[in-house]
């Protein structure tokens, strides 16, 4: 599993001109599911995201979690995080999970996260999506190997 986590002031995802998810202060999660991923790895990733302290406290130090600031979560599937560009000019995605597994684990990520976060919004698996965000900081974290 590969995750690009961005701390945002706001973010939204649109499919066919319709907003399918939007949040204010919180995290935009770009989620890539790998061939070897399972529900246990999803749970570990969500639990880690919940505990991360990357919001500033009153002294400007990154000491606060998403729960401490009442933050929200926007989850967007992104298999292209598994692009392997080492050979040739066309990326290979052989390390990405097959679509059926990826969709199942993406849905599980969202459901598991709903028990951990105040608000969880999401995109549409497999759809062409437009993602808009205002990155706070900017603060972006790459997470993998759960």
Nearest to 36 by CA among 119, 105, 89, 88: 105
Give the Å distances, CA to CA, from 29 to 46, 94, 123: 10, 22, 10
Q: pTM higher than 0.85 for the full model? A: yes
Q: 83 near 130, Cβ under 8 Å?
A: no
> For each of the chain's 146 residues, which pLDDT tens digit applies?
999 999 999 999 999 999 999 999 999 999 999 999 999 999 999 999 999 999 999 999 999 999 999 999 999 999 999 999 999 999 999 999 999 999 999 999 999 999 999 999 999 999 999 999 999 999 999 999 88
List of residues 6+ apart from 85 with CB closer than 8 A: 91
The residues assigned a catalytic role are 78-80
């Amino acid at each position: 599993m590969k995750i690009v986590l961005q701390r945002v002031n706001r973010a939204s995802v649109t499919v066919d001109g319709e907003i399918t998810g939007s949040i204010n202060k919180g995290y935009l999660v770009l989620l890539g599911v790998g061939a070897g991923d399972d529900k246990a790895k999803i749970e570990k990733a969500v639990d880690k995201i919940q505990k991360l302290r990357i919001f500033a406290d009153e002294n400007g130090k990154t000491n606060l979690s998403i729960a401490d600031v009442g933050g929200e979560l926007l989850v967007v599937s992104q298999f292209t995080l598994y692009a392997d560009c080492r050979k040739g000019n066309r990326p290979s995605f052989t390390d990405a999970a097959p679509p059926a597994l990826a969709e199942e684990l993406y849905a599980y990520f969202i459901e598991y996260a709903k028990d951990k976060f105040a608000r969880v919004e999401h995109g549409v698996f497999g759809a062409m999506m437009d993602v808009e965000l205002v990155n706070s900081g900017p603060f972006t974290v790459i997470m993998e190997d759960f």
